């Protein structure tokens, strides 16, 4: 009896030490689709939430606008398929909320509204690198916001900022501060 109690306690400690499941940004999970729908908010968290409420759902993939279709799409899956690296998507398994990368000079799912002095079309890049490079190339630029294609128009858009503004969570965007 004591041995069994020790084993149960050890298992509980190991389980408590395991970090919670998280969605994977820049990964798709092809296959296993049984349903899909347009995500009008363009937010991958809406896809994760729908999977949580659906008894058949085991995993999900969210495609940003202008990747799989003109609009953002959520794909619900009846099995957990192997993840494949692809910047089109965010994917996860049931129980995995969307947790964006934090820290560092690049801010994922962050918009720094206001302070714009210039905006331009840029090439599509999941990390907003062309926008960051444009900002670093101008002395006046203090911060930048890259807007993914499909949120403001068909092209990716870069906003260069002459002053710092408060970060706001928005799935459309990637931002950064350079000075």
Domain 20-93 sits in CATH 3.40.50.1370: no
Placement of tokens 């990637």 in the chain: 174
Secondary structure (DSSP) of 29-80:
--S-EEEEEE-TT--HHHHHHHHHH-TT-SEEEEE-TTTSSSS-EEEEESS-
CA dist 135 and 50 (Å) reads 37
- pLDDT of the residue at 13: 39
Q: How far is CA 82 from CA 31, 59, 68, 91, 177, in A?
A: 9, 10, 19, 11, 35
- pLDDT of the residue at 11: 38
> Consecutive 10-residue runs of the chain (179 residues): their mean pLDDT?
46 40 81 97 93 96 93 96 92 78 78 96 94 97 96 95 94 93
Span(s) in the chain for CATH 3.50.4.10: 20-93, 106-177
- pLDDT of the residue at 29: 95
Report the Cα–Cα distance between both ends of the chain, in Å, rounded. 63
Handedness of CA 120, 125, 131, 133 (dihedral sign): negative
The second-level CATH assignment, the architecture, of 106-177 is: 3-Layer(bba) Sandwich (3.50)
CA dist 177 and 141 (Å) reads 9
Q: How far is CA 10 from CA 2, 4, 18, 19, in A?
A: 12, 10, 13, 16
């Amino acid at each position: 009896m004591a041995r069994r109690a020790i084993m149960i306690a050890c298992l509980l400690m190991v389980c408590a030490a395991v970090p919670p499941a998280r969605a994977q940004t820049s990964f798709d999970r092809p296959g296993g689709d049984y349903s899909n729908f347009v995500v009008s908010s363009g937010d991958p968290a809406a896809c994760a939430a729908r999977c949580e409420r659906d008894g058949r759902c085991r995993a999900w993939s969210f495609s940003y606008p202008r990747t799989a279709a003109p609009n953002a799409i959520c794909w619900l899956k009846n099995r957990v398929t192997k993840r494949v690296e692809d910047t089109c998507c965010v994917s996860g398994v049931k129980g995995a909320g969307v947790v964006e990368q934090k820290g560092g000079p690049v801010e994922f799912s962050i918009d720094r509204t206001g302070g714009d002095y210039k905006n331009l079309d840029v090439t599509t890049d999941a990390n907003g690198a062309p926008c960051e490079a444009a900002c670093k190339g101008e002395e006046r630029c203090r911060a930048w916001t890259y807007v993914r294609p499909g949120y403001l128009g068909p092209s990716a858009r870069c906003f260069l900022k002459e002053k710092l503004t408060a970060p706001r969570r928005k799935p459309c965007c990637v931002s950064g501060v350079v000075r």
